[in-house]
Amino acid sequence: MEAALNKLKAEMLDDFHSGKIELPSMPEVVFKIREALYDKNRTFDDIAKVVQLDTALATRLIQVANSPAYRGAYPIESCKNAISRLGIDVTRNIVTGIVLRSAYQSRNPKTKSLISQAWQQSCQVGALSHVIASFCPGIRHDRAMLAGQIHNIGVLPLLNYLQQHPSLMESPQRLQTVIRVLQGKLGSLLLKHWQFDEAFIDIPEKSRNSNYLCPGDKVDFIEVVMIARLHMRLTKNRDPAIIAEIQQSPAFCKMTISQFGEDASLQLLDEAKDEIDTLMRALN
């Protein structure tokens, strides 16, 4: 199986570099909104008008502004006030994460459920990354959440590509193995194609390695997402082996939460449940 995967990976990269793999375009609304958010001459009113072109997006942005992560002394009821509370930079990252939902679509019945599942996982890892960022000085929560959301973006071009290999699509177990092994590389290539920040490019490819460790004492986005992915597994099964894997991870040992004892990860999930649930609802 490993030899077959290596061969398929080599073929996939050859096809990519020869232009035979069509990478999905970033949703058009992302370009319009990000353009407005990068324009220093735009006021909160101007930006709110652009965001409100998508009613669902405006509603979700207000939900995030009222979530435990960003909640202020009074509830937010307008898009303009939500942007004012969050700030331009935070709004840009949150909007990008929310609008990515439109990229996770498929008309193929064989891939539709897999892509939907990938989106749910991206939202959960994004919300967990937001919480974990609290224990990582220098890591902004909104950027950590976006980093978590794009960790499995490679599923999109990969599933389209695998339709050329019907035998793999017939076996759910083999398909899951192929997705696990190959989506990281395509995800990084897609983020580069979409001109994402350099700090995010390697997340799809490297965040699946629990032994990953960036140089120095500071934590990077790859480490945050990697720990968030392990915590996602804990939400489904509080297996002592998963807890041990987290505790033994070099990246986790750099985080301040590691100093709070063996049950710190479980306490993190329990105490941040409302925040995680609210963020996931807004992203979805």
Q: Convert the pLDDT of each residue in 57-70 to its tens digit.
A: 889 899 889 888 88
Asked whether the predicted pLDDT for residue 222 surpasses 90, the reply is yes
Residue 100 DSSP code? G
Sequence letter at residue 121: Q
Q: pLDDT digits over 140-189, tens only?
A: 999 999 999 999 999 988 888 777 777 777 777 778 888 888 889 889 98
> Is there a contact between 200 and 221 (Cβ–Cβ < 8 Å)?
yes
Residue 262's pLDDT is: 67
The reported pLDDT for the residue numbered 40 is 75
pLDDT one-digit tens code per residue, 3-22? 777 777 777 778 777 777 77
pLDDT tens digit string along 83-119?
899 988 888 888 888 888 888 877 777 788 888 889 9
pLDDT of the residue at 134: 85
Q: Name the nearest CA neighbour of 206 among 191, 231, 223, 229.
A: 223
Q: How far is CA 101 from CA 83, 120, 124, 172, 260, in A?
A: 20, 10, 13, 24, 36
Helices (H), 135-200: 141-149, 155-162, 166-170, 172-193
How many residues belong to the chain?
284
8-state DSSP, 256: G
Q: 2-283 falls under which CATH superfamily?
A: Hypothetical protein af1432 (1.10.3210.10)
**Would you say residue 204 has pLDDT above 90?**
yes
Query: Do 148 and 126 meet the contact criterion of CB atoms below 8 Å apart?
Result: yes
**Angle at Cα 235 formed by Cα 171 and Cα 120, nearest 5°?**
55
Asked if residues 64 and 72 have their Cβ atoms less than 8 Å apart, the reply is: no
From residue 99, give the alpha-carbon distance in Å to each of 33, 55, 145: 10, 12, 13
